[in-house]
Amino acid sequence: MSKIDIRTVDVVQYIHPLREGGSLPAIVKADDGFLYVLKFRGAGQGKKALIAEFIGGELARLMGLKVPELVFMNLNDSFSKTEPDEEIQDLLKFSVGLNLGLHFLSGAITFDPLVSKVDALTASKVVLLDSIISNIDRTTKNTNLLNWNNELWVIDNGASFYFHHNWENWENHLTRTFPLIKDHVLLQKATLLKEAAKEIQQLINQYKIAEIVSKIPEDWLLSESDSLSPKEMRAAYIEFINAKFSMIDLLVKEAADAR
């Protein structure tokens, strides 16, 4: 069974911000010589967006979908001192420590539902991924998909697992399906949902789910405003994902009906 191995790198150069969306991610260079899109812990949704991005990305990868390599990125406090833009300066200051990076796919273009091609099985897998992780942000308005080397790449899962913004009633989400799948950008192309579900169930089991969740940095789970301990949060993420896998037939039906 393949191990989920996440590298940790240091940011050595801040190149420029990506002014798409509200969270101001940036292109940065790491000490391994590669470029990454850096998602900041100090941005709007904070560390919870990084957790959602990480779990969603690694689940997508296990499903056989294309996902840029995810790495943990150390950011030190020197970058904020030389940054002239005040907004970015604050973001860098609040993001000192461990952040999340996605390997930068140079030359990739945003997926366009009217022009870009995607096969039915891939589309079906992405639809089921987003049903499982309750991703509210893969619509025609904001596809959060890229075309690179004539292949579909899944990025930006940070709006998933929205139950974790209020731990008080997270258990209410365990039995819910995901009606918002009706707005999914790939829904019309997802004509092989049953086949996709079968493949996903063969590729992912409870041990792999637990392994992904075990890799979340402890520091990302610490928050004064949350009622759960990091250990309880890990258990909650695992229980939530397993609950969704156990109702995958319902999610298939819901997406098929919405189509």
Q: How does pLDDT run across 89-141, given as a tens digit for each residue?
A: 999 999 999 999 999 999 999 999 999 999 999 999 999 999 999 999 999 99
Number of H helices, E strands in the chain: 8, 8
- Going from the C-alpha of 157 to that of each of 1, 71, 108, 142, the distances in angstroms are 25, 15, 18, 12
Instruction: Read off the tokens for 134.
Output: 């309750």
pLDDT at 47 over 60: yes
Quote the CA–CA distance of 185 and 138 in Å, as a whole number.
6
DSSP state for residue 252 in the 8-state scheme: H
Q: Which tokens sit at 201?
A: 């169930």
Residue owning tokens 């998933």 = 160
Could you give the CA distance from residue 154 to residue 143 in angstroms, rounded to a whole number? 9
Strands, DSSP E only, in the chain? 8-17, 26-30, 35-39, 70-75, 97-103, 109-110, 145-148, 151-154
Mean pLDDT of all residues in 23-52: 94
Name the token pair of 128: 């089921």
For residue 22, the model assigns a pLDDT of 63
pLDDT digits (tens, 9 = 90+) for 159-187: 999 999 999 999 999 999 999 999 999 99
pLDDT tier at 21, thresholds 50, 70, 90: low
Amino acid at 203: L
Asked if the model's pLDDT at residue 19 lies above 80, the reply is no
